Structure 1
Amino acid sequence: MIRIVLIGLWICAVALGSLFIAVRGHQPASEGNGQQASYLGGMDYVKTDVFSVPVMTGGSVAGYVVAQLVYTIDSKTKSRLAVPLEYFIHDEIFRQFYGSYSDTKQVEKVNFETVRKSVIDGINQKFPEPVVQDLLVEQFNYISAAEIREMNMKAGGE
């Protein structure tokens, strides 16, 4: 009987010790990393809706760039904005791609770093202080007009 009680106490002590170690391991970093902790703590990551931009070649639509992006914005700045920032992002992406990238059919040739930087700069120029901190790609595809026609033909024939 005493052995069962001691085994029970041992199991409780091990469980509480494990819980204590697990909780201490998940506590935020000390104040030594104050800048990084405050940067990550005050930022919101917002995902845009999936949107498409037509790619024009030779006066006709050759296909569409389909994208979904994630942007980072300071929480305080986001609460002060009267218009959703997503509208500005869609507008800037549309300005970047509409008629500019006739070779977008090969998505791997698009220099995302250049596009990302120019989109962030274009958005931030519309505000008195920088709003968008970073722009991340969730999805970026090119769909040709022929592929869309083919999908519509298959859907219509079923």
Structure 2
Amino acid sequence: MLKLVLTGVWVCAVTLGSVYFSMQHASAPAISDAEADRRASEEYVPGEIITVPAIKNGAVQGYFLAKLSFSATREGIAKLHAPLRQLVTDELYDMLVGSTYIDIADTETFDLPGFKGAVKDGLNKKLGSEVITEVLVEQLEYLTKDDVERVANSQNRPYQKPVPVIDKNGKVAADKIPEGAVSATASAH
């Protein structure tokens, strides 16, 4: 009996020691004080999904869908005359409508880091100081005009008149139920 108790104490001691040492060596990498101060002075600003027409040769060629979020300085946000989300959306429209330097339709030449840098620089220029510190891309898509028309046409099916499932007496009219359909009252009976 004494051997069993001593074995249990020994197993507990070894387990606690191994957990302690593994936690000491598995801690998160240390960040510098400057990096910690920078992170503490920034705020994450979630973006909105915007749809910007891609105009080329005077005609809409497609639509650019983007959801961008930002890391911005708290001090810079506090000095703004309007909410940051609305200022960002306005600037993105100014930058992207009719833009020649961003040809999203040509996916082979699209430069994502360059796009993020252009957005950051354009926003900071509009805001008058270094408010935006990082641009985060959450969604970035391009739909051609034909893609949009195809989706719109598939949803505009002719309206079909509803089929009555219950007759005037409140009974299920089995002969009027479309094949494969189940009535709410039929399933309740």
TM-score scaled by structure 1? 0.77
In structure 1, the residue matched to 2:106 is 106
Higher relative contact order (CA 8 A, sep 6+): 1
Q: CA deviation at 1:20?
A: 2.6
**Map 1:1-158 → 2, pairs under 5 A:** 1-24=1-24, 25-26=26-27, 29=30, 33-78=32-77, 81=80, 83-101=82-100, 103-157=103-157
CA RMSD of aligned residues (A): 2.9
Q: CA deviation at 1:28?
A: 6.1
Q: CA deviation at 1:98?
A: 0.3
- One-letter amino acid of the counterpart of residue 37, structure 1: A
CA distance in 1, matches of 2:12, 2:78: 47
Higher strand proportion: 1
On the 8 A contact 2:95/2:122 being kept in 1, the answer is no
Q: CA deviation at 1:78?
A: 4.0
CA distance in 2, matches of 1:15, 1:83: 57
**For 1:86-106, what per-residue CA distance to the aligned partner results, in whole angstroms no more than 9, with x for missing partners?**
222222221121012484312
Name which one, 1 or 2, has greater alpha-carbon Rg: 2
CA distance in 2, matches of 1:21, 1:77: 43
Q: CA deviation at 1:146?
A: 0.8
- One-letter amino acid of the counterpart of residue 54, structure 1: P
CA distance in 2, matches of 1:8, 1:67: 60
**For 1:51-94, what per-residue CA distance to the aligned partner results, in whole angstroms no more than 9, with x for missing partners?**
11111234332211111223212345445656332222222221
- SS of 1:157 mapped into structure 2: coil
Q: 1:108 to 1:134 in 2, by over 3 A?
A: farther
Q: CA deviation at 1:23?
A: 4.1
TM-score scaled by structure 2? 0.66
- SS of 1:95 mapped into structure 2: helix
On the 8 A contact 1:73/1:133 being kept in 2, the answer is yes
Higher helix proportion: 1
Note the residue ranges of structure 1 that are not aligned, 5 or more in a row.
none
Q: 1:84 to 1:20 in 2, by over 3 A?
A: farther
What is the identity percentage for the equivalent residue pairs of Structure 1 and Structure 2?
28
CA distance in 1, matches of 2:10, 2:77: 51
Note the residue ranges of structure 2 that are not aligned, 5 or more in a row.
159-189
On the 8 A contact 1:29/1:37 being kept in 2, the answer is no
**For 1:102-126, what per-residue CA distance to the aligned partner results, in whole angstroms no more than 9, with x for missing partners?**
8431234233333323322222234
Q: How many residues align?
A: 156
